[in-house]
Amino acid sequence: MIIKVPEIKSEIYPSWEKVVEDNPHLKNSPEIVKKNYEDSVDELFDAIMLLAAF
Amino acid sequence: MSKEKLFKERAARVTKAFKHEIPDRVPIAMMIETWAGHYSGYDIVDSGYDYPKLRESFLKVAEDFEEIDAMPPAFGVRPGNIYAATQSREYSYYGEDGKPYASLQHLEAGNVMTTDEYPEFIADPFKFIVEKQIPRRYAAFDKPELEKNLAFTQFALLYKTYIQEAIVKLGEQLAVEKGMPSLFKGSTEMPMDVFMDYFRGFKGIIIDIKKRKENVIAACEALFPLMLKKAIHNVESGIFPGIFIPLHIPTYLRPKDFETFYWPTFKKMIDCIVEKDCTPVLFMEGNWEPYYDFINDLPKKKVVGMVESGDFKKMKAAIGDTICIMGGMPVDVINHSTRDEAVKYAEELIDFMAPNGGYIFALDKVLLSPNDANPENLKAVLQTVAKYGEYK
């Protein structure tokens, strides 16, 4: 089982919901678009934490 | 024996020790960082900047010290290419004369966050990290917007290469070519350690716990979700490999201060990781004897402690039923004793640590510099443990 933890709460933390809010025409995007976007946000988080806490 | 079978045998041995079950013999694990390069004829610039040489050196250690059952990923060598591009203000592999150091040099971060910034950090730690903490630690991000954006793009490209070449590919090669499991599948730090290491420095945090008690407690709580995500998000659940967590400040705190400041987020982190069926592997720097009561409040037989120092016989009796103990073999003995003396020390260690399981043989220190371990004595000791440590 792949572990998931809750999303980070922050004014600047990227989320698909914010993308859609800023770009309403993306509202009906295929599921893979959202999934791949969220995977890339996870990678961004890992990269930032490498700079911040390592 | 095939490498696949060897991998499974080693993984099973360490997993049983994690669970306090009795394996075929005492498992051996080793914390190796830049020493792997030195042992293979490379300096720390080679290890930190040249990924093929980094991989070659770790593979050579796995080959020559085949008694080892699990090795850590090469995270401890750190990403030199990233530090060069981001202009780290803290890490140096070489001096102004261009000559490599024997081990990576680290200037304390110190006053990265000022005391009046606690409320801002507590309100939105992620934002504070991106806007303020990272630019203060890396000069490339302390620039006008366009230059900063270019630097971040360069960093992102280097990050992908680093993860792929230094971590993923090495892990695959160790597994496939040497049958060597990774000791860890993730890592994090406890919030208060992060605060000391990367925001306030040792002096700053020690003053803060006297003068800004509520701020320190609130800052640790605010940082907790980020450090939990770093530890286990997208990680596959399972007892082995473990989640590596170095503990830095605890043994500098009085037990009362440990309880007030460190314990709440420490305990919560352990509980959350264990709840997801993963094993926290705590790198317990210093002597933890004054904190054994706290350790005994951790989930039973779910945590591993790589303990740096202390009376191991006493430690086994005091906390050996709660955590799996890893360590006990001083590098000083490896380096400053005869071969026979070092072997005898290892045998005596096994005599009192191995009974009832829950023990992994390891050195008391991470191997960094060229002289951190005499290879001949180390080999003799590991060969002894592999035979003498059999459970009959």
Q: What is the pLDDT of residues A18-52, one digit of tens each?
A: 999 999 999 999 999 999 999 999 999 999 999 99
Domain count, chain A: 1
Both tokens of B386, joined, read 């592999």
Nearest-Cα residue of chain A relative to residue B121: A10
Residue B348 dihedral angles phi and psi, to the nearest 5°: -65, -35
Are the C-beta atoms of B78 and B48 separated by less than 8 Å?
yes
Euclidean distance between CA atoms B187 and B281, whole angstroms: 9
For residue B108, is pLDDT > 90? Answer: no
Q: How far is CA B83 from CA B139, B147, B154, B279, in A?
A: 10, 16, 11, 30
Domain assignment present for A33: yes
Q: How far is CA B227 from CA A10, B45, B104, B187, B194, in A?
A: 14, 29, 24, 9, 9
pLDDT for position B392: 85
Domain assignment present for A52: yes
Looking at beta carbons, which residues of chain A come within 8 Å of B137?
Answer: 51-52
Q: Which of B159, B237, B277 sits opposite A50 (nearest CB)?
A: B159
CATH number at residue B57: 3.20.20.210
ipTM reported for the complex, 2 dp: 0.97
Q: Which of residues 15-44 of A touch B (CB under 8 A)?
A: 42
Euclidean distance between CA atoms B191 and B199, whole angstroms: 11
Phi-psi region of B93 (alpha: psi -120 to 50; beta: other; left: phi over 0): alpha
Are the C-beta atoms of B327 and B364 separated by less than 8 Å?
yes
Burial A3-13 (b: 16+ CB within 10 A, else e): bebebbebeeb
Domain assignment present for A23: no
Are the C-beta atoms of B31 and B392 separated by less than 8 Å?
no
Enclosing domain of residue A49:
29-54
Domain count, chain B: 1
pLDDT for position B109: 74
B125–chain A Cβ distance below 8 A for any pair: yes
As a whole-number percent, the residues of chain B with pLDDT over 90 amount to 98
Q: What is the mean pLDDT of residues B343-356?
A: 98
Q: Which residue has the tokens 């002894």?
A: B384
Q: What is the mean pLDDT of residues B104-127?
A: 93
Under 8 Å CB pairs connecting chains A and B tally to: 77
Mutation for B interface: A1, A3, A45, A48, most B CBs within 10 A? A3
Which SS3 state, helix, strand or coil, does residue B242 take? Answer: strand
Domain assignment present for A5: no
Looking at beta carbons, which residues of chain B come within 8 Å of A50?
Answer: 79, 82, 159
pLDDT for position B302: 98
Residue B340: pLDDT band by 50, 70, 90 thresholds?
A: very high
Which SS3 state, helix, strand or coil, does residue B278 take? Answer: strand
For residue A8, is pLDDT > 80? Answer: yes
Q: Provide the mean pLDDT of chain B.
A: 97
A11–B124: do the CB atoms touch at under 8 Å? Answer: yes
What dihedral angle (degrees, nearest 10) is formed by the CA atoms of A37, A41, A46, A50?
120
Euclidean distance between CA atoms B349 and B164, whole angstroms: 39
Residue B191: closest CA among B165, B217, B172, B210: B217
Both tokens of B268, joined, read 């919560």
Q: What is the mean pLDDT of residues B138-158?
A: 97
Domain assignment present for A45: yes
Which long-range contacts link B220-223 to residues 24+ away (Cβ below 8 Å)?
Answer: B220/B191, B220/B192, B220/B195, B220/B261, B220/B262, B220/B264, B220/B265, B221/B191, B221/B264, B221/B265, B222/B121, B222/B122, B222/B123, B222/B125, B223/B125, B223/B191, B223/B194, B223/B195, B223/B265
Give residue B177's identity as a one-letter amino acid code: E
Residue B104: closest CA among A45, A54, A49: A54
For residue B363, is pLDDT > 90? Answer: yes
B278–A3: do the CB atoms touch at under 8 Å? Answer: yes
Domain assignment present for A36: yes
A50–chain B Cβ distance below 8 A for any pair: yes
Q: What is the pLDDT of residues B173-223, one digit of tens each?
A: 999 999 999 999 999 999 999 999 999 999 999 999 999 999 999 999 999
**Contacts for B221 with CB less than 8 Å, ≥ 6 apart:** B191, B264, B265
Q: Which of residues 179-198 of B touch A (CB under 8 A)?
A: 189, 194, 197-198
Q: What is the pLDDT of residues B46-65, one digit of tens each?
A: 999 999 999 999 999 999 99
Enclosing domain of residue B291:
3-388
Q: How far is CA B177 from CA A3, B58, B334, B383, in A?
A: 29, 12, 28, 21
As a whole-number percent, the residues of chain B with pLDDT over 70 amount to 100
Residue B110: pLDDT band by 50, 70, 90 thresholds?
A: confident
Q: What is the pLDDT of residues B277-314, one digit of tens each?
A: 999 999 999 999 999 999 999 999 999 999 999 999 99
